[in-house]
Amino acid sequence: MSSHQANLTSQIQGRVIVPGDAEYDEARQIWNAMIDKRPAVIVKCTNTSDVLAALNYAKAQKLEITIRGAGHNIAGNAICDDGLMIDLSDMKKVTVDPGAKRVLVQPGATLADIDAATQQHGLATPVGINSTTGISGLTLGGGFGWLTRKFGMTIDNLVSAQVVTADGRQLTASSTENSELFWAIRGGGGNFGIVTEFEFQLHSVGPEILAGLIVYPFDQAKQVLEQYRTFTQTAPADLNVWVVMRQAPPLPFLPEEVHGKEVIVLAIFYAGDLQQGETLIEPLRQFGTPHGEHIGAQPYTAWQQAFDPLLTEGMRNYWKSHNFTELHDDALDLLLHYAGNLPSPHCEIFIGQLAGSANTVASDAMAYSSRDAKFVLNVHARWETPAEDEDAINWARDFFKATTPFASAGAYVNFMTAEEGGRVTAAYDSNYQRLVEIKRQYDPDNLFHHNQNIKP
């Protein structure tokens, strides 16, 4: 037994894992296989007392501290070499109050955990599009998905949070208590403390919604993108349509000869009356001559998991993203060029539609400032072997650089990779200075710096 294990085991109700333990290698694995770090000790917490004990121990031993929710962050901030990882992934409890339309969520819960609990009551809150994502990282960086056009971002629905601060205090952050801290954690990432519970507002959604895919040939991509741009200008907020450009997975509704070929996909989600939804999406079928489609009524929880097979853990990943207020012709041409030259069959470029409720919030209402963004574009490089690293990363970087002139201000910190710390100031725009002051107040020694860091 290592000294860390001996000293911590008596203080922790969860598990203390160190190098050499049978479960060590599994416990240190996170979603992005490019990240391969070896912490000195991993504390798998079961409650807030464990979190406090781990935090105090790390400070006393002068160990670097990282925080893991579900370990899904692209930059790999959940883990570092030789430090102490406070692992929250066993704290997954979700408690729904259907009368008040509120849900309390522990920090290790995934989006699937939340959707399963809230949909029992026909309720949901806006979260991301991959159900294995953790709620903590998603929320603290912003959070958007299929419900964002109608109900705003995840942070727009955060009512309160329980936060353990660097000095070991347990604080409630809300609009009426520690309101500056509440302002900062809504978009400011893990810079200000460890959230041990989130409280979200819920909305009536489902349990059945209308959703699915229309898959067009890649040689029709230009006309599809141009018509998509026009269509989204007047589409109601109940309807959300994203664009995905990639090689076609072996979907059962596609002819076999299309599998593995470049395609452009419209991913469609409608949360209102199903018949009305069918009428609204009919124009999308006329954008070209599709290879095939699969659209119908389905459980909201099923659609929330529809993209999981394309985002499984264990692959090497590198992302680049931009915000856009409009989709310029030249930007669309660049999209087509890079989507036609994918370095790996797992790579994709997607355009997520944000326009709607999220744009009605003031840019200084909370830390997340990119309130003019109507679309977010993510260049998602994904591949299998280290030998492919250079090609895949260069492809993503080149595309990002080429499209920069057409992007709008700000950046989405959850999509920023480890070396993009230089974008942090730009990500928060005019809110940055206020975040620095709040950081100085709650974490003056920058104890929590394994993140897109706001330096005190």
29-52 pLDDT, tens digit per residue, is: 998 888 899 999 999 999 999 999
- Exposed/middle/buried for residue 367 (C-beta within 10 Å: 0-12, 13-18, 19+): buried
Residue 419's pLDDT is what? 72
Work out the average pLDDT over 1-14: 84
Asked if 284 and 403 sit in the same domain, the reply is yes
Note the pLDDT of residue 31: 85
Within a domain: 453: no
**What CATH number did the domain enclosing 398 receive?**
3.40.462.20
Mean pLDDT of the chain: 94
Q: Is the pLDDT of residue 426 over 80?
A: yes
236, 362: one domain: yes
Q: What is the pLDDT of residues 142-158, one digit of tens each?
A: 999 999 999 999 999 99
What's the pLDDT at 170?
A: 97
Q: pLDDT per residue over 95-113, tens digit each? A: 999 999 999 999 999 999 9
Dump pLDDT digits (tens) for 390-423.
Answer: 999 999 999 999 999 999 888 888 877 777 767 8
Q: Are 102 and 202 in contact (CB under 8 A)?
A: yes
265/357 same-domain check: yes
Identify the pLDDT of residue 3.
82
For residue 9, what pLDDT is reported?
87
Q: pTM higher than 0.85 for the full model?
A: yes
Last residue of a domain, one of 43, 71, 87: 87
Predicted confidence band of residue 309 (pLDDT cuts 50, 70, 90): confident
pLDDT at 319 (0 to 100)? 86
Average pLDDT, integer, range 213-219: 97
Q: Per residue in 134-143, pLDDT tens?
A: 999 999 999 9
User: Does residue 427 form part of some domain?
Assistant: no
CA contacts within 13 A on the Cβ side of 150: 21
Tokens found for residue 377:
């574009």
Same domain, 224 and 345: yes
The candidate with the shortest Cα–Cα distance to 448, out of 15, 77, 138, is 77
Distance between CA atoms of 333 and 340, rounded to whole angstroms? 11
Domain assignment present for 447: no
Residue 304: inside a domain: yes
Query: What's the rounded mean pLDDT across residues 252-274?
Result: 95
Tokens found for residue 126: 């806006």
Nearest C-alpha neighbor of 277 from the set 216, 233, 211, 230? 211
Better pLDDT: 292 or 454: 292
Based on the domain organization, do 231 and 182 belong to the same domain? no
Last residue of a domain, one of 27, 54, 87: 87
Q: What is the pLDDT of residues 349-360, one digit of tens each?
A: 999 999 999 999
Number of domains in the chain: 3
pLDDT band at 8 (very low <50, low <70, confident <90, very high): confident
Weakest-pLDDT range from 12-26, 182-196, 212-226, 420-434: 420-434
Match 């959707």 to its residue by tokens. Answer: 115
Q: What is the model's pLDDT at position 55?
A: 97
Asked if residue 451 belongs to a domain, the reply is: no
Expressed as residue numbers, the domain containing 24 is: 3-87
Task: Answer yes or no: do 308 and 360 share one domain.
Answer: yes
> Which domain-ending residue is among 37, 71, 87?
87
Both 175 and 103 in one domain: the answer is yes
- Which carries the bigger pLDDT value, residue 320 or residue 170? 170
Numbers of helices and strands, H then E, in the chain: 14, 18
Is the same domain home to 309 and 378? Answer: yes
The domain spanning residue 105 has which CATH number? 3.30.465.10
pLDDT of residue 308: 85
Is the domain of 173 the same as that of 187? yes
Provide the CATH number for the domain around residue 13.
Answer: 3.30.43.10
Over its C-alpha atoms, the chain yields an Rg (Å, rounded) of: 22
Predicted pLDDT of residue 424 = 87
Q: Is 12 part of a structural domain of the chain?
A: yes
Q: Does any domain span residue 456?
A: no
Which segments of 27-133 are extended strands (E)? 41-44, 65-68, 84-87, 94-97, 102-105, 123-124
Query: What's residue 314's pLDDT?
Result: 85
Would the CA dihedral through 123, 127, 132, 136 be positive or negative?
negative
Question: Tell me: the pLDDT tens digits for 358-374?
Answer: 999 999 999 999 999 99
To 5 degrees, how large is the angle CA 415–CA 419–CA 423? 65
Q: Does 455 reside within a domain?
A: no
Residues 83 and 105 in one domain: no
**213 and 327 assigned to the same domain:** yes
pLDDT in the model for residue 412 = 83
Looking at residue 421, what is its pLDDT?
A: 67
220/327 same-domain check: yes
Distance between the two ends of the chain, CA-based, in angstroms?
37
- Name the residue with tokens 């208590």: 177
What integer pLDDT is reported at residue 1 of this predicted model? 62
